[in-house]
């Protein structure tokens, strides 16, 4: 892609986003650049001289931006780490951390989707202590970390991981989510040209993750005024742009999703996610479903369960009325009532070319009881309605279709 196209896509922010949305994005404490061509300024501001690039090679090749990316790194000594896969393991992060130490890196740049960003986050957190990377990925000895600055360049829209202080990594076959303030990148590049490179299926599944994050953030126990502001702005953009970003893929819609998913990341950075995310990890681990698809398959059913909250089942100190009204706000993003969400989302998944029930996605009813009993209680604790095993099982039966 020529530099002229890059500059044009950066300028599209001003013409395609409202002043209010733009203001919200730019109010971040993170330094934000609008194209890979601006990476040298971010590196300079970080004082970077020797950089480990944790790179999703497939994303870079798909973008056609190899030479622009190499040019943006020419003022620093850059080493590339590319040995990881989707659903990355703690060993991948440890290998990246060891390479960073061997290269005497003073900064890490992550170029790729959420999996790449999570590998880079743990490697950056370990910093001069690569021996600790696997321990840190388990969420242990976090005080002993010696972090390096991290610049994130997301290529999916998406996880919003560029805005969060979490990393999700498989440790001994189990997904662990680590939280640490230094996991939040100092600087980010939101370059719509990279997001335009996503094939439709990837735009669909990552966009559904962003939709779920915006909606779950609205009803999360840990939400506050700021996260609700982010989640509302994110949800409006995602509701408008998700389907056309997949079916048409124009720059306007890909930009809307890139910004929407980023704002959803800012929202969950404060509020964290709830039951739909908590349930999803096993669908990925045991049945190979992509992350966003796995979350979307129960999202509507979680919403209807949460709409049925009462005093006795409410975990949010703001009470059941607060919860119900925020579940309604979440459903209203898609112009439906909470009870209409399961049907709406089932139809949406179908239009996006995805299996629209757990059964269609290969999760048979025989597995549901076991799945309901294995949900991580910590993640479930942020859901505003207390859900028993029996509640979870009946929710999964409904999601099975």
Ligand X SMILES: NC(=O)c1ccc[n+]([C@@H]2O[C@H](COP(=O)([O-])OP(=O)(O)OC[C@H]3O[C@@H](n4cnc5c(N)ncnc54)[C@H](O)[C@@H]3O)[C@@H](O)[C@H]2O)c1
Could you count the other beta carbons within 10 Å of the beta carbon of residue 352? 21
Please tell me whether residue 320 binds ligand X under the rule CB under 6 A.
no
Residue-level length of the chain: 401
Near ligand X in 23-82, by CB under 6 A: 56, 58-59, 62-63
Near ligand X in 152-191, by CB under 6 A: 155-156, 158-159, 161, 164, 166-168
Please tell me whether residue 220 binds ligand X under the rule CB under 6 A.
no
Q: Give the range of 47-55, 106-114, 325-333, 369-377 binding ligand X by CB under 6 A.
A: 106-114
Closer Cβ to ligand X, 85 or 365, answer by number:
85
Closer Cβ to ligand X, 47 or 181, answer by number:
181
Q: Give the range of 76-84, 112-120, 342-350, 362-370 binding ligand X by CB under 6 A.
A: 112-120
Residues 166, 168, 169, 175, CA torsion sign: positive
Closer Cβ to ligand X, 183 or 334, answer by number:
183
Q: How far is the C-alpha of 31 from the C-alpha of 42, rounded, in Å?
A: 8
Query: What phi-psi label fits residue 48: left (phi over 0), alpha (psi between -120 and 50 degrees) or beta?
Result: beta
Q: How far is the C-alpha of 303 from the C-alpha of 330, rounded, in Å?
A: 8
Closer Cβ to ligand X, 277 or 301, answer by number:
277
Which of 38, 118, 191, 216 lies at the binding interface for ligand X (CB under 6 A)? 118
Which of 194, 264, 334, 371 lies at the binding interface for ligand X (CB under 6 A)? 194
Size of the site for ligand X (CB under 6 A): 30
Near ligand X in 283-302, by CB under 6 A: 291-292
Which of 37, 113, 300, 338 lies at the binding interface for ligand X (CB under 6 A)? 113
Please tell me whether residue 136 binds ligand X under the rule CB under 6 A.
no
State the number of CA atoms in the 13 A half-sphere of 303 facing the CB.
34
Contact 77, 49 (CB under 8 A): yes
Residue with the two structure tokens 């997904």 = 175
Give the closest residue to 235 by CA, choosing from 119, 125, 341, 354. 341
User: Residue 281 phi/psi, 5° resolution?
Assistant: -60, -35
Contact 195, 258 (CB under 8 A): yes
Give the closest residue to 136 by CA, choosing from 194, 195, 177, 188. 177
CB of 381 to ligand X, least distance (A): 18
Q: Give the range of 25-33, 66-74, 198-206, 382-390 binding ligand X by CB under 6 A.
A: 198-206
Please tell me whether residue 326 binds ligand X under the rule CB under 6 A.
no
Give the closest residue to 161 by CA, choosing from 176, 140, 133, 183. 183
Please tell me whether residue 316 binds ligand X under the rule CB under 6 A.
no
DSSP 3-state assignment of 188?
Answer: strand
CA dihedral 360, 362, 365, 368 (to 10 degrees): -120
Q: Give the range of 90-98, 107-115, 126-134, 337-345 binding ligand X by CB under 6 A.
A: 107-115
DSSP 3-state assignment of 317?
Answer: coil
Closer Cβ to ligand X, 85 or 224, answer by number:
85
Please tell me whether residue 202 binds ligand X under the rule CB under 6 A.
yes
Closer Cβ to ligand X, 194 or 349, answer by number:
194
Near ligand X in 243-262, by CB under 6 A: none
CB of 12 to ligand X, least distance (A): 17
Strand partners, 175: 170
Task: Give the interface with ligand X as residue ranges (CB under 6 A).
Answer: 56, 58-59, 62-63, 86-87, 112-116, 118, 155-156, 158-159, 161, 164, 166-168, 194, 197-198, 202, 206, 209, 291-292
């Amino acid at each position: 892609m020529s530099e002229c196209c890059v500059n044009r896509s950066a300028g599209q922010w001003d013409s395609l986003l409202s002043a209010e949305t733009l203001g919200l994005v730019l109010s971040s404490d993170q330094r934000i650049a609008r194209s890979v061509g601006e990476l040298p300024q971010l590196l300079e501001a970080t004082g970077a001289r020797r950089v480990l690039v944790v790179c999703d090679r497939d994303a870079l090749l798909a973008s056609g931006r190899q030479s622009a990316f190499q040019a943006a790194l020419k003022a620093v000594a850059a080493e590339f780490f590319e040995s990881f896969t989707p659903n990355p393991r703690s060993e991948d992060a440890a290998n990246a951390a060891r390479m960073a130490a061997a290269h005497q890196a003073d900064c890490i740049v992550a170029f790729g989707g959420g999996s790449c960003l999570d590998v880079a986050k743990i490697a950056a957190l370990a910093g001069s202590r690569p021996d600790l990377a696997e321990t840190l990925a388990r969420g242990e000895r976090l005080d002993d970390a010696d972090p390096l600055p991290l610049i994130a360049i997301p290529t999916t829209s998406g996880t919003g991981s560029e805005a969060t202080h979490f990393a999700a990594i498989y440790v001994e076959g189990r997904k662990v989510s680590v939280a640490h303030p230094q996991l939040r990148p100092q600087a980010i590049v939101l370059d719509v040209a990279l997001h335009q490179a996503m094939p439709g299926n990837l735009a669909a599944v990552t966009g559904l993750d962003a939709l779920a994050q915006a909606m779950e953030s609205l009803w999360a126990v840990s939400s506050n005024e700021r996260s609700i502001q982010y989640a509302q702005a994110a949800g409006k953009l995602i509701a408008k742009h998700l389907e056309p970003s997949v079916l048409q893929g124009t720059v306007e819609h890909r930009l809307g999703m890139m910004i929407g998913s980023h704002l959803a990341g800012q929202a969950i950075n404060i509020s964290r996610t709830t039951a739909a995310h908590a349930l999803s990890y096993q669908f990925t681990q045991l049945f190979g479903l992509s992350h966003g698809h796995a979350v979307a398959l129960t999202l509507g059913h979680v919403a209807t369960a949460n709409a049925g909250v009462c005093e006795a089942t409410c975990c949010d100190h703001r009470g059941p009325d607060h919860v119900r009204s925020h579940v309604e706000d979440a459903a209203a993003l898609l112009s439906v009532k909470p009870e209409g969400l399961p049907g709406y989302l089932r139809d949406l998944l179908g239009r996006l070319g995805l299996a629209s029930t757990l059964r269609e996605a290969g999760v048979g009813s025989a597995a549901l009881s076991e799945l309901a009993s294995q949900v991580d209680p910590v993640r479930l604790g942020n859901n505003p309605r207390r859900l028993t095993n029996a509640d979870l099982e009946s929710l999964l039966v409904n999601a099975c279709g």
